[in-house]
A and B are shown apart, each in its own frame.
Chain A
Amino acid sequence: MKTKITTVLIIVTLISISAYSQNVVNLKIKGSDTVLPLSQKEAETFMKKNKSAKITVTGGGSGVGIAAFVDGSTDIAMASRKMKMSEKLKLQDAGKAYKEVVIANDALSVIVNPANKVSQLTREQIEGIFTGKIKNWKEVGGDDEKIVVYSRESSSGTYEFFKEHVLNNKNYGTSILMMPATGAMVQSVSQTKGAIGYIGFAYMEKNVKALKISYDKGKTFIEPNVINAKNKTYPVVRPLYYYYLTKDAAKVKTFIDYILSEEGQKVVNEVGYISLK
């Protein structure tokens, strides 16, 4: 009895290993939580058209994705920021050449609870809030309410991008709360009255309010929406990247071509990001 079971198990293992070596479109995509819903939807529509294709999508954050990419445990790294110098050096040391593709744009939005009176902030005010200098909403024209600052954790590309482009490379304050995922941030902000946070545009929901932002010290406040993002009047528009190894180009080509095609870009709009054209 026992030997029979063992034999069966060995056979199953052998079959599965041999099945692995067969050549089918089998892609692993890993990384940014911002890009995650987009990749998921693109993979879903792509696989509906190409039944034999197999695309695995995993989140974790841009940092996690790029780390996995350097290790070679993923074919495509999705990132909401550019690759850092240290990461580039690691790839160079390993002798791996890579390609970068912009697949969509995102309007990084600052959100607050809908009950909040404040509906616009300047970049300087946002910097003050996230670095911990401004602690109460009344300092920026709101109610007398303590500001609860939510941020993504440090492996997030959005975290890095926000720090570079909105906080002027200043460090986040010590009292901010780190959220493991963007969806969790939306929920927390929708449930906390004095909350503020930042999210990718596709995550925008009715139970949070997007702030208008001014990058010219309060002369014009611009709302994050598709039109303002497309004509680049909204100041915090960022590209979303795919990274892949040059030697894998043939393997990933069909999928990336699909995303860049008209149909793929339509999916970008459906998910809530800003298409390239």
Chain B
Amino acid sequence: MIISKKVIRKKNLKEKVAFNIFRVFSAIVVLSLIAILSFIIYNGISVINWNFLTQMPEDGMTKGGIYPAIIGTLCLVAGSMIFAIPIGVLSGIYINEYTKDSWYKRFIKLMTNNLAGIPSIVFGLFGMSLFVNTLGFGDSIIAGSLTLGLMVLPVVIRTTEEALKSVDNSFRHGSLALGATKLQTVRKVVLPMAFPNIITGIILSVGRVSGETAPILFTVAAYFLPKLPSSIFDQVMALPYHLYVISTSGTNVEASRPIAYGTAMVLIGFVLIVNLLANALRKYFGKKVKMN
């Protein structure tokens, strides 16, 4: 059968148009990212120096550094991960490896998906009423960490589940055929192979935890506390909340503007480093698995 040149030309033209549309849209994504980043770097780079990163805020938070906010954010990330990683990974394993496709599994999955769709401010209010008031933790690192942990729990569960799903069944069958128990199979065969992807999910949730303001608003964040936390029942300053307050509160918003840009830059830098780390770790562990 001979296809006329006209038809071919028409097809190629359509393809070109479609390609260019895709290209334009992806360019919009990249360009807007570049625009935001360069805007913040342009405004913030001048205030970033060693003192800014290691000193306490001074003079009504218009001078000095953001050291306590950085440490506070690190505390919250650590705290929420201690909570979210074990529960999330274990539930993910349970859902993918141990449950049969029953109404119970579907129910858990449905609930996990719903949990993922809840706005973060709702988590904040829930955390306030449960951890701060009912359990009596007060505004504290532990209340904030648990709230943030709850918020990223679905992310950890879902990535664990997906990671386990991508491990081919033949590995499981092989392991079981050699006489290994189910637990041994999961521990020694499935989990190591899924590990790189699980790590990626966890680190992405670290990025999310470090950038959220709403959940910490009522559970942990302090407007001003130029001291490092000495216990898990202390309040802390945190980068996203600090950014929010110095750009909306304070008697001299204009004077603290450079600090706001600096804080934004540190926050974005932190998330960027975390994401790069996720990539590097995935590659590292991915190689390790292949070699074994």
The answer, among A9, A13, A57, A180, for a CB contact under 8 Å with B223, is A57
- Is B58 at the interface (CB under 8 A from chain A)? yes
- Stretch in A40-48, A118-126, A156-164, A231-239 touching the partner: A40-48
Whether A203 contacts B231 by the Cβ 8 Å rule is no
Secondary structure at the B interface, as helix, strand, loop or mixed, is loop
Bound-state CA distance A58–B245 (Å) is 10
Minimum Cβ distance to chain B for residue A99 (Å): 21
Known: A13-B232, A58-B223, A187-B253. A181 touches B139 (CB 8 A): no
- Is A59 at the interface (CB under 8 A from chain B)? yes
Number of A-B contacts (CB under 8 A): 96
Contacting A at CB under 8 A, from B239-284, are: 245, 247-254
Sample 6 A-B pairs with CB under 8 A, ordered by A number: A36-B249, A40-B60, A57-B225, A58-B223, A59-B245, A183-B248
- Is B206 at the interface (CB under 8 A from chain A)? no
Bound-state CA distance A202–B231 (Å) is 34
1/0 per residue, CB under 8 A from B, across A122-150: the answer is 00000000000000000000000000000
Which residue of chain B lies nearest to A33 when distances are taken between CB atoms in the complex?
Answer: B249
The answer, among A9, A73, A207, A271, for a CB contact under 8 Å with B251, is A271
Whether B139 contacts A202 by the Cβ 8 Å rule is no
Minimum Cβ distance to chain B for residue A182 (Å): 7
Whether B248 contacts A184 by the Cβ 8 Å rule is yes
Whether A37 contacts B251 by the Cβ 8 Å rule is yes
Bound-state CA distance A40–B237 (Å) is 13
- Is B227 at the interface (CB under 8 A from chain A)? yes
Contacting B at CB under 8 A, from A40-79, are: 40-41, 43-44, 47, 54-60, 68, 71-74
The answer, among A17, A36, A187, for a CB contact under 8 Å with B232, is A17
Whether B245 contacts A17 by the Cβ 8 Å rule is no
Minimum Cβ distance to chain B for residue A159 (Å): 16
Across-interface contacts of B215 in A (CB, < 8 A): none
Whether A205 contacts B249 by the Cβ 8 Å rule is no
- Is B33 at the interface (CB under 8 A from chain A)? no
Bound-state CA distance A59–B141 (Å) is 17
- Is B133 at the interface (CB under 8 A from chain A)? yes
Bound-state CA distance A207–B255 (Å) is 13
Whether B60 contacts A58 by the Cβ 8 Å rule is no
- Is B170 at the interface (CB under 8 A from chain A)? no
Whether A205 contacts B252 by the Cβ 8 Å rule is yes
Bound-state CA distance A33–B223 (Å) is 10
Whether B254 contacts A9 by the Cβ 8 Å rule is no
Whether B221 contacts A16 by the Cβ 8 Å rule is no
Bound-state CA distance A73–B218 (Å) is 11
Whether B222 contacts A37 by the Cβ 8 Å rule is no
Across-interface contacts of A55 in B (CB, < 8 A): 225
Across-interface contacts of A184 in B (CB, < 8 A): 248-249
Bound-state CA distance A202–B60 (Å) is 12
- Is B286 at the interface (CB under 8 A from chain A)? no
Bound-state CA distance A202–B82 (Å) is 43
- Is A251 at the interface (CB under 8 A from chain B)? no
The answer, among B82, B139, B224, for a CB contact under 8 Å with A73, is B139
Whether A56 contacts B235 by the Cβ 8 Å rule is yes
Minimum Cβ distance to chain B for residue A199 (Å): 10
